[in-house]
Chain A
Amino acid sequence: DTAVSQTPKYLVTQMGNDKSIKCEQNLGHDTMYWYKQDSKKFLKIMFSYNNKELIINETVPNRFSPKSPDKAHLNLHINSLELGDSAVYFCASSREGGAANYGYTFGSGTRLTVV
Chain B
Amino acid sequence: GEDVEQSLFLSVREGDSSVINCTYTDSSSTYLYWYKQEPGAGLQLLTYIFSNMDMKQDQRLTVLLNKKDKHLSLRIADTQTGDSAIYFCAELTGGGNKLTFGTGTQLKVEL
Partner-B contacts on A (CB < 8 A): 4, 33, 35, 41-45, 48, 55-56, 90, 92, 97-101, 103-109
Q: How many interface contacts (CB-CB < 8 Å) are there between A and B?
A: 64
**Interchain CB contact under 8 A, A48 and B97:** yes
Binding site for A on B (CB under 8 A): 30-31, 33, 35, 37, 40-45, 48, 50, 86, 88, 92, 94-101, 103-104, 106
Asked if A109 and B42 sit within 8 Å, CB to CB, the answer is yes
Chain A residues near B31: list those with CB within 8 A: 99-101
Query: Considering the chains assembled together, what is the distance between the CA atoms of A92 and B48 in angstroms?
Result: 17
In the complex with contacts A98-B92, A99-B31, A104-B98 CB distance below 8 A: no
Interface of B is mostly: strand
In the bound complex, do residue B96 and residue A42 qualify as a contact, i.e. CB atoms below 8 Å apart?
no
A95–chain B nearest beta-carbon distance, Å: 11
Return the chain A residue nearest B30 by Cβ.
A100
Candidates A45, A90, A103; contact of B45 at CB < 8 Å:
A103
Contacts of B35 in A (CB 8 A): 103
User: Would you call A48 and B41 a contact (CB within 8 A)?
Assistant: no
Instruction: Collect the chain A residues with CB atoms within 8 Å of residue B92's CB.
Output: 98-100
Residues of the A chain whose Cβ atoms lie less than 8 Å from the Cβ of B94: 56
Are B96 and A107 in contact, CB atoms less than 8 angstroms apart?
no
Are A106 and B43 closer than 8 Å at their CB atoms?
Answer: yes
Nearest Cβ in chain A — how far from B56, in angstroms?
11
* Cross-chain contact B45 with A104 (CB below 8 angstroms): yes
CB contact under 8 A between A108 and B97, given known A42-B104, A99-B31: no
Residues in A with CB closer than 8 Å to B42 are 4, 90, 106-109
